[in-house]
Amino acid sequence: MSAPKGPADSPNRASRLRNTFVTGQVALTEKRDELRNSMHRKTTVVVYEQFMADFMPTATLPAPPSWLSSLPKWIRPSSSSSKRTSSESTRTTRSSAAATRQSFVNPFKDCKKPKSEREMYTMITSALNKSKICEGYTAVATPHKADKTEDSGQAVDCGLYPDDALDRVEVTKKTRSKLGRTDWSSIEIAIECKMDATAGDPFDDTRADNHYEPEADSRRKVLGQVLNYAELVFERQHRTAQYMLLFLGEFARIIRIDRAGLYVTSKFNYRTDGTKLAAFLHHYTGLAAAERGHDITAVRLHPKSKEAEHMRERAKNIAPGDYVAEKFAKLLDPEWPWWKLEVIDELNRRNKRFFLVGRPHFQAPGVAGRATRGYIALDADSPSGDFVYLKDAWRVVSKNIDKEGAVLKALSTHRVQYVPTLICHGDIPGQKTESQAVWQKRHPKEKCHMKHHQHYRLVTKEVGKPLEEVSGGPELMKVMFCAVSAHSQAYKNDIIHRDISAGNILIYKKEDGKWYGLLNDWELSKKMSQQVKEGRQPDRTGTWQFMSAKALDNLSRTIVIQDELEAFFHVTLYIALRVLPHNCPAKAVPRLLHDYFDDYAFHEDGNLCGTTKRIAMESGRINIAPYNPQKKDDPTPPAVSLHFVWPDGLGQDYPLDAVVTTFLSWLSAYYTITLPSETKTVNTGTNAATFNPFDSGLLGELTPPDGMDEVFPRASASTSQNPLTTIVENVPSEPSREALEELAKNLESHQPLLQMLWRSLKQDWPVDNSDRCTDKKPDKDWTLPKEQIKTGSKRGSGTLENAASSSKPAKRTKT
Residue 675 falls inside a structural domain: yes
Residue 540 falls inside a structural domain: yes
- 555 confidence band (pLDDT: 50, 70, 90): confident
- 528 confidence band (pLDDT: 50, 70, 90): confident
Spell 632-650 as b/e; 16+ CB within 10 A means b.
eeeeeeebebbbbbbbeee
**Tens of pLDDT along 438-453?**
999 988 989 898 999 9
Averaged pLDDT for residues 295-308: 98
Report which of 133, 93, 126 is spatially closest to residue 292, judged by C-alpha positions: 93
422 with 353: CB under 8 angstroms? no
The C-alpha angle 459, 461, 464, rounded to 5 degrees, equals 105
Q: What is the pLDDT of residue 632?
A: 78
Res. 373: pLDDT tops 50: yes
Q: What percent of the chain has pLDDT over 70?
A: 80
Res. 2: pLDDT tops 50: no
Q: Measured on CA atoms in the order 574, 579, 582, 588, is the torsion positive or negative?
A: positive
Report which of 172, 307, 174, 157 is spatially closest to residue 246, judged by C-alpha positions: 157
Res. 561: pLDDT tops 70: yes
**Tens of pLDDT along 230-289?**
999 999 999 999 999 999 999 999 999 999 999 999 999 999 999 999 999 999 999 999
Report which of 605, 647, 788 is spatially closest to residue 40, judged by C-alpha positions: 605
Residue 136 falls inside a structural domain: yes
**Tens of pLDDT along 658-681?**
999 999 999 999 999 987 554 444
Residue 80 falls inside a structural domain: no
CATH number of 334's domain: 3.30.200
Residue 414 falls inside a structural domain: yes
**Tens of pLDDT along 708-721?**
443 333 333 333 33
**Residues 334 and 412 occupy one common structural domain:** yes
Residues 6+ apart with CB under 8 A from 765: 472, 473, 474, 655, 771
Strands (E), 346-386: 351-357, 362-363, 373-379
795 with 607: CB under 8 angstroms? no
Q: What is the pLDDT of residue 79?
A: 42
In the DSSP assignment, the letter for residue 116 is S
Total domains, the chain = 3
**Residues 348 and 287 occupy one common structural domain:** no
Residue 7 falls inside a structural domain: no
- Rounded CA gap, 31 and 229, in Å? 12
**Residues 404 and 505 occupy one common structural domain:** no
Averaged pLDDT for residues 730-756: 85
- Rounded CA gap, 718 and 724, in Å? 13
The C-alpha angle 278, 281, 283, rounded to 5 degrees, equals 105
Please identify, among 294, 326, 344, the residue that sits at the C-terminal boundary of a domain: 294
**Tens of pLDDT along 379-426?**
999 999 999 999 999 999 988 889 999 999 999 999 999 999 999 999
Provide the 10 A C-beta neighbour count for residue 691: 19
Report which of residues 93 and 450 the model is more confident about: 450
Report which of residues 199 and 728 the model is more confident about: 199
**Residues 476 and 448 occupy one common structural domain:** no
Residue 14 falls inside a structural domain: no
Res. 92: pLDDT tops 50: no
**Residues 276 and 374 occupy one common structural domain:** no
Q: Which of 237-241, 372-376, 494-498, 733-737 has the lowest mean pLDDT?
A: 733-737
Beta bridge partners of 489: none
Res. 724: pLDDT tops 50: no
What's the pTM?
0.85
Q: Measured on CA atoms in the order 653, 656, 660, 666, is the torsion positive or negative?
A: positive
Q: Where are the alpha helices (DSSP H) in 28-80?
A: 28-38, 48-55
**Residues 316 and 223 occupy one common structural domain:** no
**Residues 284 and 307 occupy one common structural domain:** no
**Residues 290 and 304 occupy one common structural domain:** no
Residues 6+ apart with CB under 8 A from 483: 418, 500, 505, 517, 518, 519, 568
In the DSSP assignment, the letter for residue 77 is P
Please identify, among 252, 276, 294, the residue that sits at the C-terminal boundary of a domain: 294
Q: What is the pLDDT of residue 813?
A: 42
Strands 43-46 and 262-265: parallel
Cα-to-chain-centroid distance, residue 795: 24
Provide the 10 A C-beta neighbour count for residue 625: 11
Q: Which domain, by its residues, includes 275?
A: 44-68+93-294
**Residues 486 and 573 occupy one common structural domain:** yes
Q: What is the mean pLDDT of the chain?
A: 84
Give the chain's count of helices (H) and strands (E): 21, 23
- Rounded CA gap, 113 and 119, in Å? 9
DSSP 300-321: EPPTTSHHHHHHHHHTSSPPTT
**Residues 482 and 450 occupy one common structural domain:** no
**Residues 600 and 703 occupy one common structural domain:** yes
Residue 30 falls inside a structural domain: no
Please identify, among 437, 463, 489, the residue that sits at the C-terminal boundary of a domain: 463
- Rounded CA gap, 195 and 199, in Å? 9
**Residues 675 and 738 occupy one common structural domain:** yes
